[in-house]
C-alpha cells in the first residue's frame, strides 16, 4: 500500500497532505475496500514523508558548488523494499487486559480483528498506568514482533528545596548537589566518552575517504559507520540524562543549569581543533533529554544566566579571564582562591 501511494506521490510531485489525500485515498480504498480507512491514511502520510525527505536532500545537493556536485551523485528516489513497520492509528487498536494478560486488538475493518498476546515488562506496566495512548507502531524482524507504544501522561511538576546544579563540558557533566534536608553539599562529576567517540569516528571517516576509491563502497561504509556513531552517542546521552534524573529523584532535588545554546560560545577563535571538539557534543540534545527526564519525575528545571560563571571567583566575586589558569585549574588573581576549574561554574550557579 505504501509503495502504491509513493508511486502516485512521486509521479504527481505531491507536496501537501491535502493533495496526497485527494490523489491517493480513493484509489487505495477501492483497491483495499475491506481494510480500515486509517491504514490507508497512514500509508499515504508515510509515503509523503519519504518524498519530502527526498526533496529536502535533492535541494541540498543542488545548492552545492559545481565542483562538489560533480563528485557527489544526487539522492535516489525513495523506494519500499521490505517494510517491517505497521503504523497503528489510535482508532485502529485497543489494549485489553484479560485474566491478567495484556491483549492487543487490531481492527482490520468490517468488524474483523486481529488479537496479539503482549509480553510486557514491569517498567512498561508502570508507564501504562494512567497514561493515554497515541498513534503507535508494530515493528517486525526475522524472529520477533515488537509493539512500540506512544503514550501521554499528565505529570505534576513541583518545586523542591534541594537543588542539583550542573555544568556541561565536552567530556563531563560537573555537578553540585545541595541537600538542605541534611545540611550538606557534594561536588561530583559524571564522565562520558562522547568526545573520544567523535574523534575516533572522524579518523575512520578520513581513512575511508582517502583509501577507498570506489564511490559506491565509500558511501556504503560512511553510512555504516555514521549510523554506528549516532547510535553510540545517543546511548551515552540518554544514560547521562537518566543518571542525573535518578540522582535528582533520590534526593528530591530540582535541576539548575546554564542558559546556553551550545558550547561554541566558549571556544577560542582560530582554534579549529577546539571548535570541532566543542561542536561534536550535541549540547542541545543532551539538555533536552535532561529536562525531559527531570520533568518526567516531577522535578522542576530552572535556567540561569551563564555569563562569566567560569571566570568569576566564587569567594570574592572577582571576574577575570586570567583566573582560568588552564582547562582544569582556577586561581583568583585577587584573593588567591584556587580550586578545580570544572567545579567553579557550579559554585557560581549556586551563588549568582
**For the segment 71-104, what is each residue's pLDDT rounded down to a tens digit?**
788 888 888 776 778 888 888 888 888 888 888 8
Same domain flag for 208 and 263: yes
In a domain, 326, yes or no: no
Rounded CA-CA distance 44/16 in Å is 11
Give me the pLDDT at residue 274, please: 66
Same domain flag for 21 and 64: yes
**For the segment 251-260, what is each residue's pLDDT rounded down to a tens digit?**
999 999 888 7
Give me the pLDDT at residue 134, please: 87
Q: Are 244 and 293 in contact (CB under 8 A)?
A: yes
In 3D space, the residue among 243, 283, 234, 244 whose CA is nearest the CA of residue 263 turns out to be 283
Helix axes 17-31, 2-11, angle to 10 degrees: 130
Same domain flag for 48 and 110: no
pLDDT of 277 > 70? The answer is: no
Q: Which of 121, 152, 183 is a domain's end point?
A: 152
Name the burial class of residue 152, with classes exposed (0-12), middle (13-18) and buried (19+) by CB atoms within 10 angstroms of its CB: exposed
Domain with 95 in it: 87-152
Number of structural domains in the chain: 3
**For the segment 28-42, what is each residue's pLDDT rounded down to a tens digit?**
988 888 888 888 888
Q: Which of 125, 152, 179 is a domain's end point?
A: 152
Name the burial class of residue 196, with classes exposed (0-12), middle (13-18) and buried (19+) by CB atoms within 10 angstroms of its CB: exposed
Of 58-62, 262-266, 280-284, the one with minimum mean pLDDT is 262-266
pLDDT band at 224 (very low <50, low <70, confident <90, very high): very high
Q: Are 50 and 39 in contact (CB under 8 A)?
A: no
In a domain, 339, yes or no: no
**For the segment 190-221, what is each residue's pLDDT rounded down to a tens digit?**
999 888 898 899 999 999 999 988 888 988 99
b or e along 222-247 (b: 16 or more beta carbons within 10 Å of the residue's beta carbon)? eeebeeebeebbeebbeebbeebbeb
Q: 338-340 and 329-331 as β-strands: parallel, antiparallel, unpaired?
A: antiparallel
Same domain flag for 27 and 104: no
Using CA of residue 221, residue 225, residue 230, residue 235, what is the dihedral sign? positive
Q: Are 113 and 130 in contact (CB under 8 A)?
A: no
pTM above 0.75, yes or no: no
Of 36-50, 169-183, 271-285, 315-329, the one with minimum mean pLDDT is 271-285
Same domain flag for 23 and 131: no
In a domain, 100, yes or no: yes
In a domain, 28, yes or no: yes
Amino acid at each position: 500500500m505504501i509503495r502504491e501511494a509513493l508511486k502516485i506521490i512521486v509521479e504527481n510531485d505531491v507536496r501537501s497532505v491535502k493533495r496526497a489525500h485527494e490523489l491517493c485515498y480513493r484509489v487505495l480504498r477501492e483497491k483495499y475496500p475491506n481494510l480500515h480507512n486509517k491504514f490507508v491514511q497512514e500509508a499515504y502520510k508515510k509515503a509523503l514523508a519519504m518524498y519530502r525527505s527526498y526533496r529536502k536532500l535533492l535541494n541540498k545537493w543542488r545548492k552545492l558548488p559545481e565542483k562538489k556536485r560533480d563528485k557527489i551523485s544526487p539522492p535516489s528516489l525513495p523506494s519500499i523494499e521490505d517494510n517491517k513497520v505497521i503504523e497503528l492509528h489510535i482508532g485502529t487498536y485497543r489494549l485489553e487486559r484479560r485474566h491478567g494478560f495484556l491483549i492487543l486488538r487490531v481492527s482490520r475493518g468490517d468488524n474483523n480483528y486481529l488479537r496479539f498476546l503482549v509480553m510486557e515488562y514491569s517498567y512498561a506496566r508502570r508507564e501504562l498506568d494512567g497514561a493515554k495512548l497515541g498513534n503507535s507502531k508494530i515493528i517486525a524482524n526475522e524472529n520477533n514482533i515488537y509493539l512500540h507504544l506512544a503514550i501521554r501522561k499528565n505529570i505534576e511538576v513541583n518545586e523542591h528545596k534541594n537543588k542539583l546544579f550542573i555544568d556541561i563540558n565536552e567530556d563531563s557533566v560537573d555537578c553540585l548537589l545541595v541537600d538542605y534536608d541534611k545540611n550538606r553539599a557534594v561536588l561530583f562529576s559524571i564522565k562520558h566518552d562522547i568526545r573520544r567517540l567523535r574523534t575516533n569516528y572522524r579518523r575512520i571517516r578520513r581513512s575511508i575517504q582517502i583509501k577507498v576509491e570506489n564511490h559506491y563502497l565509500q558511501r556504503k561504509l560512511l553510512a555504516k559507520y555514521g549510523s554506528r556513531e549516532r547510535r553510540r552517542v545517543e546511548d551515552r546521552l540518554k544514560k547521562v540524562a537518566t543518571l542525573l534524573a535518578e540522582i535528582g529523584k533520590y534526593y528530591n532535588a530540582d535541576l539548575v543549569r546554564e542558559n546556553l545554546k551550545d558550547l561554541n560560545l566558549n571556544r577560542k577563535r582560530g582554534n579549529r581543533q577546539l571548535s570541532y571538539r566543542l561542536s561534536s557534543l550535541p549540547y542541545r540534545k543532551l539538555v533536552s533529554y535532561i529536562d525531559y527526564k527531570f520533568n518526567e519525575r516531577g522535578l522542576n528545571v530552572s535556567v540561569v544566566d551563564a555569563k562569566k560563571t567560569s571566570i568569576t571567583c566564587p569567594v570574592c566575586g572577582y571576574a577575570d579571564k586570567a583566573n582560568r589558569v588552564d582547562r582544569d585549574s582556577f586561581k583568583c588573581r585577587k584573593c588567591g582562591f584556587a580550586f578545580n576549574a570544572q567545579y567553579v561554574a557550579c559554585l557560581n550557579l549556586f551563588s549568582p
